[in-house]
Structures are given as C-alpha cells and as structure tokens.
C-alpha cells in the first residue's frame, strides 16, 4: 500500500499539469495591458508563485496534517484550473489579466500537491529501502511530466485550451478523492504506528 500511495500521489502531481503549464505557458496564455503580465513572462510568474507557496506553506503539513494539506491543495488546484478553463471558453481581451490571477493561485497551491509525496516517502518506508522509494517517486513524477509534455500541445491542437485545463482539473480532483479514500494521516505517528496501519490494511484485504 505504501508503494501504491507514493506512485499515485507522485504521478498525479505531475499529470495535474504543473510541468506542461510551465513549459508551454508562453504558447498558452494571452497578453494583457499590464506590464509583465504577458505570455513572455507567464512561466516566470508560475514559478514565482510556486516559490511563494513553498516559502509560506512550509509549516502547513505539520499544522494541518499531511492528508488534509494534500486534499486541500489538490481541490484548490482543481478549482483554479476549472476557472482557467472557463476563461478560455469565454475569452475577453479586456479581462485577460484574470487568467493570470487564477494561474498564480494554481502555482501557489500546487506546493502542497508536490511536497506531500516527498514527506510520505520519508515516513512510510524504512531506512534500508527509502532510497529505492525516493527513486520510484522521482520516476513516477518524471513519467507524469513526460506524458503531459507530450500531449499538451497535441490536445490543444485537436480540441482547445479549455479542454486541456478541464483535463488537468479532473486529474487534480482524482488526487483529491484518492487522498480522502486511500491516504492516511502520518502526522505525530511513530514509524512503528505507521507500519501497524499498513499491516492492518493488508490484513483486511486478505480476509475473505
């Protein structure tokens, strides 16, 4: 179960669109009448919002707990992406700056989706296999990034940008549901307590 949790949370984090939005932001988002809010700077805007989120939210996993933090971040990212998708259905040049507000909100919240898998790697696995678990998480994230980078422009070409944003929103919603149903809280628990929870979940599956 620990491997399953790490693979799913890591891959869904990148499948949720953060990598492809950074890479293809200049080809995706419109220019505005405001300085610096334009397609040439939107990748920088996303990364600055991610940095701001990382700095301001570094204590939230310990305050809220890992599970609530991941659930909250994923559903907020889902909402932000839905709002971006709605904008691309009804694009208004006079209000093009609004999409950047939603984009900053997305980048600010994506920190929770990205940080919790790393925390879980350190808490769910013993020291002797933690390196392997970390590598598995990294490979899962890389696979998610590769898939979104490969198909982002293709989907935009054959459908439109709003469909892509709604697809990313749906993936973040899947992560939200997965977190509520599968991920368990590890805050303030010892390694032995966490292993006991994992063992109990395995025993339940084995019961007829």
pLDDT confidence of residue 29: 85
pLDDT confidence of residue 206: 60
Please state the domain count of the chain. Answer: 1
User: What tens digit of pLDDT does each residue of 24-34 get?
Assistant: 988 888 887 77
Q: Please, are residues 186 and 70 in contact by the beta-carbon 8 Å criterion?
A: no
Q: Residue 179 CB: number of other CB atoms within 10 A?
A: 26
Q: Please, are residues 201 and 106 in contact by the beta-carbon 8 Å criterion?
A: no
Q: Please, are residues 155 and 163 in contact by the beta-carbon 8 Å criterion?
A: yes
Q: Residues 171-175: what's their mean pLDDT?
A: 95
**Cβ-based neighbours of 113, under 8 Å, separated by 6 or more:** 12, 13, 16, 18, 70, 73, 74, 77, 172, 175
Q: How many helices (H) and strands (E) does the chain have?
A: 9, 0
First-to-last CA distance in the chain?
19
Q: What domain range includes position 52?
A: 2-206
**Cβ-based neighbours of 73, under 8 Å, separated by 6 or more:** 109, 110, 111, 112, 113, 116
pLDDT value at 68 more than 80: yes
Tell me the pLDDT band of 144, cut-offs 50, 70 and 90.
very high
The rounded percent of the chain whose pLDDT value lies above 70 is: 97
Q: For the chain, what is the mean pLDDT?
A: 87
Q: Residue 176 CB: number of other CB atoms within 10 A?
A: 21
Q: Collapsing DSSP states into helix, strand and coil, what is residue 39? A: coil
Domain CATH for 56:
1.20.1250.20
**Structural Rg of the chain based on CA atoms:** 18
- What is the Cα–Cα distance from 136 to 131, expressed in whole angstroms? 9
**Cβ-based neighbours of 191, under 8 Å, separated by 6 or more:** 123, 126
């Amino acid at each position: 179960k620990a491997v399953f949790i790490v693979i799913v949370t890591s891959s869904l984090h990148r499948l949720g669109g953060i990598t492809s939005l950074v890479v293809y932001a200049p080809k995706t988002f419109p220019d505005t009448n405001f300085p610096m809010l334009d397609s040439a700077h939107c990748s920088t805007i996303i990364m600055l919002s991610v940095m701001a989120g990382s700095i301001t939210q570094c204590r939230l996993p310990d305050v809220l707990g890992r599970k609530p933090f991941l659930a909250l971040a994923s559903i907020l990212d889902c909402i932000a992406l839905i709002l971006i998708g709605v904008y691309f259905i009804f694009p208004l040049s006079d209000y093009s700056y609004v999409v950047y507000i939603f984009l900053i909100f997305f980048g600010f919240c994506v920190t929770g989706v990205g940080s919790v898998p790393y925390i879980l790697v350190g808490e769910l696995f013993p020291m002797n296999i933690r390196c392997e678990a970390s590598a598995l998480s990294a490979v899962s994230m890389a696979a998610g990034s590769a898939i979104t980078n490969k198909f982002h422009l293709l989907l935009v070409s054959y459908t439109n940008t709003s469909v892509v944003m709604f697809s990313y929103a749906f993936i973040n919603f899947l992560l939200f549901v997965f977190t509520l149903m599968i991920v368990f809280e590890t805050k303030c628990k010892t390694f032995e307590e966490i292993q006991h929870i994992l063992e109990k979940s395995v025993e339940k599956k084995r019961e007829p």
